[in-house]
């Protein structure tokens, strides 16, 4: 049997990015080291997200991204944008979800009501 432990995200500033995502998701930081940060829904809940320091810049479209399902699309979109997310265009066309980037340029989506 396998248990999904976490997704690992390369980051230039893992602490800042982990704390940003913890705020967005309402999660807690479970590992707080300079080059390695982990967040989880609760300290004992998996999966989590691990942020590890890497040199270099983001070099293109993510091969993996998070899709977040909100209770209220408009309110969550506004909240995440206020926290520093940016809208982005990955050639998605006219869709009922919002494609965004976190502070380091990693794409993620806030799903629309048709995905609830």
Say if residue 50 is in the same domain as residue 68. no
β-bridge partners, 101? 86, 107
- Structural domain contains residue 78: yes
Instruction: Specify the pairing of strand 28-33 against strand 6-11.
Output: unpaired
Regarding pTM above 0.75, the answer is: yes
What is the pLDDT, as a whole number, of residue 60? 67
Question: Same domain, yes or no, for 21 and 48?
Answer: yes
- Model pLDDT, residue 39: 97
Other beta carbons within 10 Å of 13: 15
Backbone dihedral region of 64: left (phi > 0), alpha (psi from -120 to 50 degrees) or beta?
beta
For 37, the domain range is 1-54
Q: How far apart are CA 1 and CA 76, in angstroms?
A: 36
Query: Is the pLDDT reported for residue 4 higher than 70?
Result: yes
């Amino acid at each position: 049997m396998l248990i999904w432990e976490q997704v690992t995200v390369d980051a230039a500033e893992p602490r800042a990015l982990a704390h940003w995502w913890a705020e967005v998701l309402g999660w807690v930081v479970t590992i707080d080291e300079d080059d390695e940060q982990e967040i989880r829904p609760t300290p004992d809940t998996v999966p989590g997200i691990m942020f590890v320091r890497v040199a270099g810049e983001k070099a293109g479209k993510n091969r993996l991204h998070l899709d977040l399902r909100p209770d209220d699309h408009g309110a969550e979109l506004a909240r995440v944008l206020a926290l520093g997310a940016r809208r982005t265009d990955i050639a998605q066309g006219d869709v009922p979800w919002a494609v965004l980037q976190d502070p380091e340029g990693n794409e993620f989506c806030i799903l629309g009501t048709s995905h609830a």
